Amino acid sequence: MDCCGAPAYWAGDEERLRRNLGKIEAIWDGMGKPTLIFACATCESIFQKFLPGIDRISLYELMAEAEEIRPVRPFVSAAVFDPCAARDDHGMELGVRKLAIKAGVALQELVEQNRCCGYGGHMRIANPSLYDEIVKNRADASKEPYIVYCVNCREVFALQGKQCCHALDMAFGLDPDAPVPSLQEKRDNSLKVKRELMKVLTGTAFVPAVHEWDELTLIVGGELQKSMERKFISASDVKEAVWKAENTGDKFISESDGTSLCSMVKSVLTYWVKYRETGPKTFEILSAYCHRMRFGREGQ
């Protein structure tokens, strides 16, 4: 229930990556050096590159051979979109195809495999127009719907309007058209999974950190929510900014309409939120923005 270290690797933070890998290896050694099962191609690629001594197998290989797994056919025919991180991971690639065939899907292969869906390199933030171009190119690579096994690929194509289904949804008969969760929903879901798994596997209670701003209620319109998602601004970020502004009085107030504008500096990001109070601990959010720039103040 921890990170494989990929973000540190991508950022070139070798010290943090080395420290994280050492912790993983120590935990694995303490468990008796078991074979590790991977559902994420990126995680497995990190282990293959930096921890080759740890035996690995993909979840999809195991599921394809498990008689009790009876996948549901999401499409009559489809193409498997292999994530770039699964390149040369033939066991994982074959496992997904076996699952699809087991479900009764007629498969067609893409001409070019393992191409980045557009998510890689934080392109969506760094170069949105290039991201849009690449996503469209990948979605148009086949007229068939896609079966994917990377959560980022699934999100990218679902937001593009490309019909797709994650291999795990297919394996367990879940709704392939479920909406893409928001940033906050993803975090809440992750904490819920961690809480449940720790209870089952270790018998310990995992209690996520509680913040004073968690009790705030936000009213966010549909278009603004989409804008916040594109800018990777979570509801928690906005709540924290508003809570700090309301408790310190550090904000601008418009005399014409009574709206407030506040800023919050966190790490390398500065957030700006425009809002109005509509009830006890309830705030309507009118706009939210962030940028990688920090403003200093005289005397600080």
- The full length of the chain comes to 300
237-251: pLDDT as tens digits = 999 999 999 999 999
Percent of the chain with pLDDT over 70: 98
Torsion of CA 240, 244, 245, 250, to 10 degrees: -140
DSSP E strand boundaries for 10-122? 36-38, 56-58, 77-81, 106-108
Neighbours of 58 (CB within 10 A): 24
* pLDDT interval class at 120 (50, 70, 90): confident
* pLDDT interval class at 297 (50, 70, 90): low
Higher pLDDT, residue 124 or 33: 33
> What's the confidence (pLDDT) of residue 299?
58
Please return the burial class of 51, using the count of CB atoms within 10 Å of its CB with bins 0-12, 13-18 and 19+. Answer: middle
Tell me the average pLDDT of the chain: 93
Question: What is the set of domains in the chain, with CATH numbers?
Answer: 35-172 (no CATH), 212-291 (3.30.2310)
Task: Please compute the mean of the pLDDT values over residues 32-40 and round it to a whole number.
Answer: 95
> What's the confidence (pLDDT) of residue 292?
83
60-116: pLDDT as tens digits = 999 999 999 999 999 999 999 999 999 989 999 999 999 999 999 999 999 999 999
* b/e 221-259 (16+ beta carbons within 10 angstroms → b): eeebbeebbebebbbbbbbbbbbbbbeeeebeeeeeeeb
Residues contacting residue 243 through CB under 8 Å, at least 6 positions apart: 212, 213, 216
* pLDDT interval class at 126 (50, 70, 90): confident
* pLDDT interval class at 268 (50, 70, 90): confident
Q: For residue 300, is pLDDT > 60?
A: no
* pLDDT interval class at 121 (50, 70, 90): confident
Contact 131, 124 (CB under 8 A): yes
Higher pLDDT, residue 241 or 294: 241
- For 36-40, 120-124, 133-137, 227-231, which range has the lowest pLDDT when averaged over its residues? 120-124
Separation between Cα atoms, residue 1 and residue 10, nearest integer Å: 20
> What's the confidence (pLDDT) of residue 28?
95
151-209: pLDDT as tens digits = 999 999 999 999 999 999 999 999 998 999 999 999 999 999 999 999 998 899 998 88
Structure tokens at 54: 């740890």
CA distances from 181 to 87, 188, 225 (A): 27, 10, 11
Closest CA to 164 of 39, 277, 292, 78: 78
Closest CA to 86 of 22, 25, 149: 149
Phi, psi of 234 (to 5 degrees): -90, 165
Higher pLDDT, residue 293 or 299: 293
The structure's pTM equals 0.84
Closest CA to 5 of 43, 35, 33: 43
Closest CA to 58 of 72, 70, 43, 71: 43
